[in-house]
Amino acid sequence: MNMKQFPVICRHLGKSYQQGKITIPALVDINLEIHKGDFVCFSGPSGSGKTTLLNLIGGLDTPSSGEISLDAQRLDKMNKSALANLRLHKIGFVFQAYNLIPVLSAQENVEFVMQLQGLNSARRAIKARAILKEVGLEGLEKRRPGDLSGGQQQRVAVARAIVSAPSLILADEPTANLDSHTAETLMQLLHTMNEEHGITFLFSTHDKLVMDYSKRLIKLRDGRIQSDETQ
């Protein structure tokens, strides 16, 4: 097996939380392979485990049991510093709250991750302007988040996530704060990024629109994979 063709591999993955003396299982025995170029949606009711699974894959949380790998690197064996470094270089995040830095312009927000990665200012500026043009924000580079619509802010977040060509983009409820037209436009954009650049996307969502756009729909219930279907 070429591990690079499976950027994400989960083996008997489990996650539990303690509430007093009670152990609450959030994920139970998850076995999963995400293929390079996948456009995958995790769906399920509240408490099904979809966001927990996304957080484990993103190195934002650590499993209670089992194994999880990204690009053949074992996340479950990494310390916090190593996980932070992996997130910086391998994973792009798109959150429902956008998580843009209010005092920075759209271009500066996109450049921020590249600055952390150590790219020089000239290269950062060129790459940021190019990706903002690609997501339809040419001419808005100098605007701060407060001067952009919700849909435009989410596009800045998408540009920031993909500008350094990570192995994986994780999107947690990316359409939650958008009206239906803007959500549709965003999903068309992400689908195009997936098709043209082969970027691997993982979504966690309640939104049927996102589910309909996904090429692979994984439904969770009570911390277990209920179904895994290619669409």
Please say if the pLDDT value at position 4 is more than 80.
no
CA 173 to chain centre: 10
Domain annotation covers residue 157: yes
For residue 200, report the phi and psi dihedrals to the nearest 5 degrees: -85, 125
Domain annotation covers residue 189: yes
Domain annotation covers residue 13: no
Domain annotation covers residue 110: yes
User: What is the model's pLDDT at position 167?
Assistant: 85
Q: Which residues contact 27 (CB under 8 A, 6 or more apart)?
A: 13, 14, 15, 49, 52, 53, 56, 63, 223, 224
Which two three-digit tokens encode residue 191? 């689908």
Per-residue pLDDT tens over the stretch 127-166: 999 999 988 999 999 999 999 999 999 999 999 999 988 8
User: What is the model's pLDDT at position 171?
Assistant: 93
The residue whose two tokens read 């957080």 is 55
What is the span of the domain harbouring residue 204? 34-62+90-230
Domain annotation covers residue 68: no
- How far is Cα 57 from Cα 62, in angstroms, rounded to an integer? 9
User: What is the model's pLDDT at position 104?
Assistant: 96
Tell me the pLDDT band of 2, cut-offs 50, 70 and 90. Answer: low
Domain annotation covers residue 94: yes
Tell me the pLDDT band of 5, cut-offs 50, 70 and 90. Answer: confident
Domain annotation covers residue 10: no
How many domains does one find in the chain? Answer: 1
Q: Look up the CATH number of the domain holding residue 57.
A: 3.40.50.300
Strands 22-34 and 39-43: unpaired
Tell me the pLDDT band of 60, cut-offs 50, 70 and 90. Answer: very high
- Taking residues 190-209, what's their average pLDDT? 91
| Average model confidence (pLDDT) across the chain | 92
Domain annotation covers residue 7: no
